[in-house]
């Protein structure tokens, strides 16, 4: 059986092939979230103006079935509200501030973010559907529907990522032309002890710590490699020098600077 932990099959680690030194793509994790409050218009707009590949975002369903750009299942950490996103209607979420007192920001709907993407036709978006079990595939269905409304349903600029094999299977079946990445962390071994591949994604998305501990995941079975969250310049250069295809960072501005310096002086930090 194919697993993500127990096989060296397809590995390119340690065989001298490091992939393209310049091909590693930079994605702004939750927008430029090291500079602005995460998943806000301010964070996305700043990131999209940078010389990077694109942005990453998380999406969830509200009680009344709207798709909002929000990471946590609950409101407390990043807004002035409380309670569960899934138990709150969109109209009530819209009143909350997810920015700062000086620069208030509203929770975005996915369609608003896709509209912003139209202003940046060279940029890519990595959409992570968050999966409370009780919702089944509804968040995935809604996401594909909104992509269709935005004219992005078949776009190579759109990538769908998830910790759910069920979501991977759904997207592979209903949107086979869109790239998918299966995300995983070590702790998922609790429910999938062998970390078996229960879907056929386009690529795998191990957490950075997982990837650095298990180099055989690089190019696993010929799949592309996306990793997160890469905030240290040394790790950024490690990704680049080892042929990671895409990494997500809260610090896209630091990544751009790090790569520019390395291009001039080689892959060392000076």
Active site residues: 29, 71
- For residue 50, what are the CA distances in angstroms to 78, 84, 123, 253? 24, 33, 10, 7
Binding marks (x or -) toward Ca ion, 91..130, rule CB under 5 A? -------------------------------------x--
Tell me how far, at minimum, the Cβ of 39 lies from Ca ion, in Å.
9
Q: Which does 248 bind (CB under 5 to 8 A by kind): Ca ion, ligand G3P, none?
A: ligand G3P
Applying CB under 6 A, among 171, 202, 228, 247 the residue interacting with ligand G3P is 228
Rounded to the nearest 10°, the torsion over CA 69, 60, 126, 173 is -150
Is 26 a binding residue for ligand G3P by CB under 6 A? The answer is no
Extract the tokens encoding 268: 């060392």
Tell me how far, at minimum, the Cβ of 65 lies from ligand G3P, in Å.
21
Extract the tokens encoding 63: 């009680």
How far is Cα 236 from Cα 17, in angstroms, rounded to an integer?
Answer: 18
Q: What is the DSSP letter of 169?
A: H
How far is Cα 257 from Cα 22, in angstroms, rounded to an integer?
Answer: 14
Tell me how far, at minimum, the Cβ of 163 lies from ligand G3P, in Å.
7
Tell me how far, at minimum, the Cβ of 194 lies from ligand G3P, in Å.
21
DSSP H or E run through 220:
none
Is 248 a binding residue for ligand G3P by CB under 6 A? The answer is yes
Residues within the interface to ligand G3P (CB under 6 A): 29, 56, 58, 71, 128, 183, 228, 248
């Amino acid at each position: 059986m194919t697993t993500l932990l127990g096989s060296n099959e397809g590995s390119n680690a340690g065989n001298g092939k490091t992939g393209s030194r310049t091909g590693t793509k930079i994605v702004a994790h939750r927008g430029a979230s090291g500079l602005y409050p995460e998943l806000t218009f301010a964070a996305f707009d700043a990131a999209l103006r940078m010389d990077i590949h694109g942005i990453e975002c998380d999406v969830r369903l509200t009680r009344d079935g709207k798709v909002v750009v929000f990471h946590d299942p609950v409101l407390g950490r990043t807004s002035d509200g409380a309670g569960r996103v899934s138990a709150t209607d969109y109209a009530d979420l819209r009143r909350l501030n997810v920015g700062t007192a000086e620069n208030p920001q509203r929770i975005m709907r996915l369609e608003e973010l896709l509209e912003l993407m139209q202003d940046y036709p060279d940029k890519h978006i990595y959409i992570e559907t968050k999966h409370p079990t009780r919702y089944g595939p509804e968040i995935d269905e809604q996401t594909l529907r909104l992509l269709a409304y935005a004219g992005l349903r078949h776009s190579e600029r759109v990538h769908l990522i998830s910790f759910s094999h069920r979501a991977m299977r759904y997207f592979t079946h209903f949107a086979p032309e869109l790239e998918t990445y299966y995300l995983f962390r070590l702790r998922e071994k609790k429910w999938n002890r062998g970390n078996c591949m229960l879907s056929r994604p386009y690529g795998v998305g191990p957490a950075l710590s997982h990837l650095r501990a298990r180099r055989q995941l690089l190019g696993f079975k010929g799949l592309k490699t996306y990793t997160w969250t890469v905030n240290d310049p040394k790790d950024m250069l490690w990704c680049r020098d080892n042929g990671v295809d895409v990494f997500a960072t809260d610090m896209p501005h630091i990544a751009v600077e790090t790569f520019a310096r390395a291009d001039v002086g080689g892959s060392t930090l000076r």
